[in-house]
Structure 1
């Protein structure tokens, strides 16, 4: 196995939990490792620091893959088993959850979402791209997967300098439309063309909180996707729901999911872009849901947020979710405060809402906590 030698400072950071390092942290390398070929990471004195992936074209050139005493053989199945054991303890229904979350599960650059016997995979490094066959084989061996679908068609790969790939089958016969259960709600999702990997499992804590404040509420959901948030509002007593999504297929699924959960007559779903909706409406609502997965800049986020504040009645609630990128790390709270000040609204933060337990992240890993969300009471 080839070795890559790291500077003293980089070695110290790696020992203290850093999941990745930059190219300038590398002192020297033995040969040129191929994508998917793990290397031994060593300090300048030659002491082994663990296993890693090295890609000199990536901004995170070194990604930690294993501990100093860890063997290369069976690494992916071993980490998969540990990830599954973790979900069995932490998730209400581990049949429907994220089962591998990047560095948080010791497999940097790998995302795996589970829909019962069907698995959707996303690879976010050249090393994991090269391991797609190995990953598929391990999923089948460890989990008995009925199918494995690759979704490397998301904007996140482009942001990382990786080529986009059309969704395609790695194993079995995955359905395009799949049903899932979550916290008492039933959803049909599009695994092949739906947003991300089909369903935003990362919003589970938002959905849980929506259920707590929805009794008797008139609800506006400006970017509903397949209805994950507003369906839970309806199941917990919302009296009227108005929802929109700019993607016609997502709006159709949201309408179907509303009906499947007994919301016929209480929920109206239409096709429209968030800003178009927020600008056009003049009514105010008890609960406004603002998810912003498609915003391209902080300026666009701020515009949507200011309009959402205008649509929230005095004493009403606003739940807003933002993402890094495009939002700067650590800048979410300031943006929310600036929007409230600009609209002359006083907002009380009821709680922060982040990633659920099936999205573990390494402490001290910048960017891994990519979702920021807050529930506000607005007056």
Structure 2
């Protein structure tokens, strides 16, 4: 069984792109009723290009696993998993929580594995990797000697792969709450029901960067604060912080995180809509020294990008009304379809409407344990801009 690409469509695969779509396959009609499987990928003239996960039910019909003609079995995944873990060791991350495997960027399409102290959270996002889940759990337990593995394959995107959402213990016993450390701060993570796999590990470097910008006595507003990580970092640096999130379970956990870090007197968490709260605060002419805007992905499609740009504009405009000269703002988007250009445009329009000139302090992307591939723009999702208000 093989995929034959249409003439010219082999070029992107040779240039290290990893996904194949329905309209790029010459013989799709022959394959459309085939089951999920590993399949050879060939050019229109029969040249071998690689082996891929094949799923005719998915929008992404095939995901390249290797460009070599090799067996795809437990040993194949063991080698890839070991390589991914070794790359993380070289990063010297100051935390006992990090991402160990980041799907396509670690050459294991559809697999996410996060480590929280001595427990793992695992996601299988595609039908291809789902078929190897048992082998992967065995490999992970052999290599890492963890106490437990909890599955968080509860994302809606699995339905496009023909899979049901699922969560639960895959190995050992995994408590709902696990305490982690990050840059000498402590955080309680909800592994069973928390957002993503329980914690926004990809904002680790940005949290540290924000804390280094804080001056003692600063007043900080942290929008979409989730379990309070940015807020705790700012409070630890000497700021007084208001964190806002609409999820009551998240703000309850945020208060616990403030408590275990002995910072409860420095942080107030509000269970409220961030859009409504910032507008109300701006109308009341409140003032802050630093405002953090870090919403969850507000769109999963290209079609939604324009409306999300204006949602960012509204948030940023109200934020700028509350920042004086020298005030700083962090704007972050974890949505792939919100490009850096779109994010910058939203900020520029808002600053023009507010009549405030902004200097870019820094632009960052996702950290090293969440790598991205240059030839795969879809693997770059986190974009963050730090700015300062000028006279």
State the 1:263 CA deviation. Answer: 1.2
> 1:46: which partner in 2?
46
**Contact 1:223–1:292 at 8 Å: present in 2 too?**
yes
Deviations 1:300-359 (Å, cap 9, x if unpaired)? 332222222223233200001113256357422112211211222211110002100001
- Structure 2 vs 1, CA of residues 184 and 206 (structure 1 numbering), >3 Å: closer, same or farther? same
Contact 2:297 2:333 in 1 (8 A): no
2-side partners of 1:76 and 1:33: how far apart?
A: 24
- Match of residue 326, structure 2, among 291, 312, 315: 315
1:71 aligns with 2:74: no
Match in the other structure for 2:371? 360
Q: Which residue does the alignment assign to 1:289?
A: 292
> Larger helix proportion, structure 1 or 2?
2
Tell whether the 8 Å contact from 1:178 to 1:188 is kept in structure 2 after alignment. Answer: yes
SS of 2:352's partner is helix
1:187-202 counterparts in 2 under 5 A?
187-202=187-202
Cα gap change, 1:251/1:184 in structure 2, threshold over 3 Å: closer, same or farther?
Answer: same
Determine the structure 1 residue equivalent to 2:246: 246
Residue 6 of structure 2 corresponds to 7
Distance 1:228 1:156, change over 3 A: farther
What is the aligned partner in structure 2 of residue 114 from structure 1?
A: 115
Is 1:223 the equivalent of 2:224?
Answer: yes
Q: Distance in 1 between matches of 2:92 and 2:102?
A: 14
TM-score calculated relative to the size of structure 1: 0.92
- Give ranges in structure 2 of 5+ residues lacking alignment: 300-306
**Which residues of 2 match residues 249-268 of structure 1 at below 5 A?**
249-268=249-268
Superposed, which structure 2 residues align to 1:57-136 within 5 Å? Answer: 57-73=57-73, 74-93=75-94, 95-136=96-137
Change in 2 beyond 3 A, CA 1:94/1:164: farther
- Conserved 8 A contact 1:295-1:326: no
Once the two structures are overlaid, the 10-residue window that deviates more, 123-132 or 226-235, is: 123-132
CA contact 1:111–1:121 (8 Å) conserved in 2: yes
SS at match of 1:249: helix
**What is the correspondence of 1:168-187 to structure 2 with a 5 Å cutoff?**
168-187=168-187
CA distance 1:18–1:134, change in 2 (3 Å): same
Task: Please give the secondary structure, in 1, of the residue aligned with 2:378.
Answer: coil
Q: Distance in 2 between the 1:157 and 1:300 partners? A: 27
Contact 2:243 2:270 in 1 (8 A): yes
Shift of 1:214: 0.9
Q: Deviations over 1:17-49 (max 9, x none)?
A: 1111211222237866532x2212222333322
- Contact 1:80–1:142, Cα closer than 8 Å, also in 2: no
Distance 2:214 2:102 in 1: 30
SS at match of 2:71: coil
Q: Secondary structure at the match of 1:342?
A: helix
SS at match of 1:331: helix
| Structure 1 counterpart of 2:154 | 153
Give, in angstroms, the shift of residue 289 of structure 1. 0.8
Aligned partner of 2:380 in structure 1 is 369
CA RMSD, 1 decimal: 2.1
1:17 maps onto 2:53 in alignment: no
Count residues in correspondence: 375
Q: Name the SS for the 2:275 alignment partner.
A: helix
Change over 3 Å in CA distance of 1:213–1:357 after alignment to 2: same
CA distance in 1, matches of 2:313, 2:169: 39
Taking the aligned partners of 2:6 and 2:145, their CA distance within structure 1 comes to: 42
* SS of residue paired to 2:387: strand
Tell me by how many angstroms 1:163 deviates: 5.2
Q: What displacement does 1:242 show? A: 1.2
Taking the aligned partners of 2:15 and 2:298, their CA distance within structure 1 comes to 35
Structure 1 residue 235 and structure 2 residue 236: aligned? yes
Whether the aligned pair in 1 keeps the contact of 2:96 and 2:182 (CA below 8 Å) is no
Identify which range, 351-360 or 327-336, moves more after superposition.
Answer: 327-336
Partner of 2:304: none
Match of 1:378 among 350, 365, 389: 389
Structure 1: unaligned runs, 5 residues or longer: none
Distance 1:234 1:327, change over 3 A: same
Instruction: Indicate whether 1:301 and 2:304 are aligned.
Output: no
Q: CA deviation at 1:258?
A: 1.3
